[in-house]
Amino acid sequence: MANASLHLVYSYSHKDERMLNRLRTHLAVLRRHEGMTEWYDRDIEAGAKWRQEIAEQLNLADLILLLVSADYLASDFCYEEEMRRAIERSDRRLLKNGLVRENFPRSRNAARGRLQPMLVSNHPPRCGSKRS
């Protein structure tokens, strides 16, 4: 295995854990052959200070993937803490962000316009589309 070349952190709503697991399966080849490391909140040990651990990992990440859904946007912690921190670091050019979306309403106030979405499905985003 190669040396760790990229430290990836996932930001997601726990209600979207199936989507996260599917994405992790697709990225397995990067872990295996490219030495990518990944972290998500299920890696937090029992008894640890979870807010501090999440903040630390968001600061250490080379790439933060935001798995944005309606549930993600409804979560105060995901929206106010994790997405805000990812955008701050991106604006300061300290990391690259990825926005993964699946069936969430288009919102002018979310990350739209600041981060380029990568769809989980095979369908590209459409401007003005009635599909959610």
Q: Once rounded to an integer, what is the mean pLDDT over residues 42-61?
A: 94
pTM comes to 0.71
- Residue 107 falls within a domain, yes or no? yes
Domain assignment present for residue 125? The answer is no
Q: Which domain holds residue 43?
A: 7-119
- Bridge-based pairing state of the strands 7-12 and 37-39: parallel
Position 88 in a domain: yes
Residue 112 is assigned to a structural domain of this protein: yes
Per residue in 58-104, pLDDT (tens digit) is 999 988 899 989 999 999 999 999 999 988 888 777 655 555 555 44
CATH number at residue 88: 3.40.50.10140
The closest alpha carbon to 1, from 23, 32, 22, 24, belongs to: 32
Q: How far apart are CA 72 and CA 15, in angstroms?
A: 8
- Domain total for the chain? 1
Within a domain: residue 45? yes
Note whether residue 2 is domain-resident. Answer: no
Give pLDDT, residue 19: 92
Report CA-CA distances (Å) from 20 to 7, 37, 40, 53, 88: 16, 15, 10, 19, 23
- Residue 36 backbone phi and psi in degrees, to 5: -65, 135
The yes-or-no verdict on residue 119 having pLDDT over 50 is no
The amino acid sitting at 32 is: R
Distance from the Cα of residue 58 to its chain's centroid: 10
DSSP 8-state secondary structure symbol assigned to residue 93:
T
Q: How far apart are CA 86 and CA 81, in angstroms?
A: 9
In a domain, 16, yes or no: yes
Choose between 118 and 121: higher pLDDT.
118
* Residue-level pLDDT at 45: 93
Pick the more confident residue, 103 or 56.
Answer: 56
Q: Rounded to the nearest 10 degrees, how much is the dihedral formed by the CA atoms of 57, 93, 71, 30?
A: -60
Q: Is residue 93 part of a domain?
A: yes
- The pLDDT confidence band at residue 32, using thresholds 50, 70 and 90, is confident
